[in-house]
DNA sequence: CAGTGGTCTAGACCACCGA
DNA sequence: CGGTGGTCTAGACCACTGC
């Protein structure tokens, strides 16, 4: 395999740029199971240190593009087998990856007293004012999910967010970025109200995702409950064995 | 913070031993939000290189015990907030972590022709013989899940596995270890048969987890479909934002 | 501006795989 | 046995934080 000898200089660290270059080469010129050039070959070919090569490869391995076999080499993984790990995405991006067009209908957007369990999750006093945003989420014009978000007040300065826009984007514009979240996924039967909104029969199975979002400093700023239609939505994820 | 100056020598790499030592110190002497000693202090205190310190800390960060803030320091994370990422565990271990005692009732254990979708997942011909293992899984004596596993034939030598034991353990004894899996989680309404086995009303919501397990070489050896009772089971996971 | 974590280098030795 | 990936070191500079 021939490997180009130049790295595009971007603002990214060198090992990220190298990882991108390798990913491109893998997509275009390598097949599943093919070995990558050895680390020492890449080191020489790109004129970087072996450590940089290894960090680039580690990045690819984390993304599931390649896997290492000690004493043998690094090989291209089968992308059909290796799903990406769970990622923190908004509804719109999630739908886009499924080839669906996302839209939204706002049901509620106001300040309300925080219920007990959400208050615990957000670390605020029960009954204190939080921003409530309730939206029906559509994919290709048909109901897909019912989303109830509660956010710390004051994240958007004085006002309320634009309920039509991406919450994530608007939070970022105010210097608040959700970097981690913890979620619990359960199955539930839809109530009459929920079923009506989602255009489903009463009692239909739905996937319920309860998510608490944290900033990079570990501060909880958002708690969201989302009910997905069981017949339209699946949550896909890759899992790894514990180091043991 | 005082840090011990000696690393227990085990068979583990030095950075793993250091990570364990740091984890122990965090548990015993540090509180949430406290800063760890700086990397250069740890380097001096333990007599290792800074790179080794950084790899140990990276391990702790991956496990959710600490988080880094550039230019500031490394801090102890709130374990209540940071759930572990999704892990590859068997039913017994999963239940143990929830404080429940797992048991099992075997419904079926035989060789049968492989259905089309499973055949695709396992990379075998449709209708070729695969090992089918169907079990009702109990937690504290009450039904929790209905598990249908299909495995490549020949993994257990000539015979069948002991359906009462841990499948994972028996696979490991035959040199096959599932290192990665990809899953799809959906919600579904229980059929009459399923509901009866799980001691649930017909149509009750259930969490369905479809999992395909791979060895470290990327070979698919197992496909399992599990129906969890919606009223008893939740799938908990942490998600991170994409590097972007 | 001093101190922190983030990146990068050059070189060394080890554990493991396969011919 | 040579070559591979895995670990470890010492040292350097950069980007960022917070006083």
DSSP string, A182-210: EEEEEEEEPPHHHHHHHT--TT-EEEEEE
Cα–Cα–Cα angle for B240, B67, B60, rounded to 5 degrees: 90
Q: Is A5 helix (H, G, I), strand (E, B) or coil?
A: coil
Going by the DSSP 8-state scheme, the letter that residue B25 receives in this structure is H
Neighbours of A162 (CB within 10 A): 13
Using CA atoms, how far apart are residues A86 and B83, in angstroms rounded to an integer? 13
With CA atoms as reference, report the closest residue to A120 among B233, B240, B80, B67. Answer: B80
| pLDDT mean over A233-241 | 84
Q: What is the pLDDT of residue B152?
A: 87
Of A1-10, A180-189, B66-75, B104-113, minimum mean pLDDT range: A1-10
Using CA atoms, how far apart are residues A16 and A56, in angstroms rounded to an integer? 6
Using CA atoms, how far apart are residues A136 and B180, in angstroms rounded to an integer? 35
Mean pLDDT score across all residues of chain A: 85
Quickly list H helices, A2-85. 14-29, 39-46, 50-62
In the stretch 198-217 of chain B, residues with CB closer than 8 A to chain A read 203-208, 211-212, 214, 216-217
Terminal-residue alpha carbon distance, chain B: 35
Q: What is the pLDDT of residue B84?
A: 63
pTM, full prediction:
0.78
Q: What is the pLDDT of residue B154?
A: 74
Using CA atoms in the order B140, B141, B144, B148, what is the torsion angle rounded to 10 degrees?
Answer: 120
- Does residue B242 belong to the interface with chain A, where contact is any CB pair within 8 Å? yes
Going by the DSSP 8-state scheme, the letter that residue A38 receives in this structure is P
Using CA atoms, how far apart are residues A147 and B63, in angstroms rounded to an integer? 29
| Closest-approach nucleotide to residue A71, Cα vs C1' | D4
pLDDT digits (tens, 9 = 90+) for A159-214: 677 777 777 777 777 767 787 788 899 999 999 999 999 999 999 999 999 998 88
* Chain A residues within an 8 Å CB radius of B208: 187
Chain A with chain B: Cβ pairs closer than 8 A: 167
CA distance A105 to chain B (A): 24
Model confidence at A130: pLDDT above 60: yes
Nearest by CB to B86, from A86, A179, A211: name it. A86
Subunit contact B81:A218, Cβ cutoff 8 A: yes
Residues in chain B: 244
pLDDT digits (tens, 9 = 90+) for B202-223: 999 999 999 998 876 677 889 9
Tell the burial category of A53 from Cβ atoms under 10 Å away from its Cβ (0-12, 13-18, 19+).
buried
| The pair of three-digit structure tokens given for residue B195, joined into one six-digit string | 């509901």
Using CA atoms, how far apart are residues B128 and B120, in angstroms rounded to an integer? 11
| Closest-approach nucleotide to residue B53, Cα vs C1' | D8
Model confidence at A79: pLDDT above 80: no
* Test the A interface: residue of B13, B187, B231 with most A CBs within 10 Å: B187
Going by the DSSP 8-state scheme, the letter that residue A105 receives in this structure is E
Residue nearest to nucleotide D17 (CA to C1'): B71
Q: What is the pLDDT of residue B81?
A: 62
| The pair of three-digit structure tokens given for residue A228, joined into one six-digit string | 């997905």
Å: A47 CA to C2 C1': 34
Using CA atoms, how far apart are residues B123 and B221, in angstroms rounded to an integer? 9
Buried b (16+ CB within 10 A) or exposed e, B188-208: bbbeeebbebbebeebbbbbb
Å: B49 CA to C12 C1': 14
| Closest-approach nucleotide to residue A54, Cα vs C1' | D5
Residue nearest to nucleotide D19 (CA to C1'): B72
In the stretch 118-157 of chain B, residues with CB closer than 8 A to chain A read none
| pLDDT mean over A105-124 | 90
Using CA atoms, how far apart are residues B14 and B48, in angstroms rounded to an integer? 9
Cα–Cα–Cα angle for B62, A175, A122, rounded to 5 degrees: 65
With CA atoms as reference, report the closest residue to B134 among B96, B180, B167, B175. Answer: B167
Mean pLDDT score across all residues of chain B: 85
Of A105-109, B74-78, B231-235, minimum mean pLDDT range: B74-78
Subunit contact A89:B238, Cβ cutoff 8 A: no
* Residue of chain A whose alpha carbon sits nearest to that of B73: A217
Using CA atoms, how far apart are residues A23 and A198, in angstroms rounded to an integer? 40
Tell which strand D nucleotides have any atom below 7 Å from a protein Cβ: 3-12, 15-18
Nearest by CB to B185, from A214, A234, A238: name it. A234
Using CA atoms, how far apart are residues A8 and A15, in angstroms rounded to an integer? 11
Neighbours of B21 (CB within 10 A): 18
Using CA atoms, how far apart are residues A98 and B80, in angstroms rounded to an integer? 32
Nearest by CB to A182, from B81, B177, B178: name it. B81
Å: B19 CA to C3 C1': 24
Buried b (16+ CB within 10 A) or exposed e, B145-157: bbbbbbbbeebbe
Integer Rg of chain A from CA: 22
The residue written with tokens 């991956």 in the block is B62
């Amino acid at each position: 395999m021939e490997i180009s000898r130049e790295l595009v200089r971007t603002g990214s660290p060198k090992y990220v740029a190298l990882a991108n270059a390798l990913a491109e080469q893998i997509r275009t010129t390598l097949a599943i199971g093919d070995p990558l050039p050895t680390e020492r070959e890449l080191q020489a070919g790109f004129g970087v240190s072996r450590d940089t090569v290894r960090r680039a490869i580690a990045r690819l391995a984390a993304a599931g593009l390649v896997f290492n076999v000690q004493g043998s080499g690094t090989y291209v993984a089968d992308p059909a087998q290796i799903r990406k790990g769970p990622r923190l995405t908004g509804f719109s991006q999630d739908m886009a990856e499924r080839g669906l067009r996302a839209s939204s209908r706002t049901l509620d957007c106001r300040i309300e007293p925080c219920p007990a369990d959400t208050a615990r999750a957000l670390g605020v006093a029960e009954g204190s004012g939080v921003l409530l945003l309730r939206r029906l989420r559509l994919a290709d014009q048909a109901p897909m999910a019912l989303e109830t978000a509660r956010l710390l007040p004051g994240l958007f300065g004085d006002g309320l967010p634009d309920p039509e826009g991406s919450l994530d984007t608007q939070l970022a514009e105010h210097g608040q970025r959700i970097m981690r979240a913890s979620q619990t996924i359960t199955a539930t039967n839809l109530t009459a109200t929920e079923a009506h909104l989602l255009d489903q029969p009463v009692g239909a199975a739905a996937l319920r995702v309860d998510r608490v979002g944290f900033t990079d400093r570990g501060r909880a700023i958002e708690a969201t409950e989302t009910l997905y239609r069981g017949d339209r939505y699946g949550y896909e994820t890759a899992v790894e064995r514990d180091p043991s």
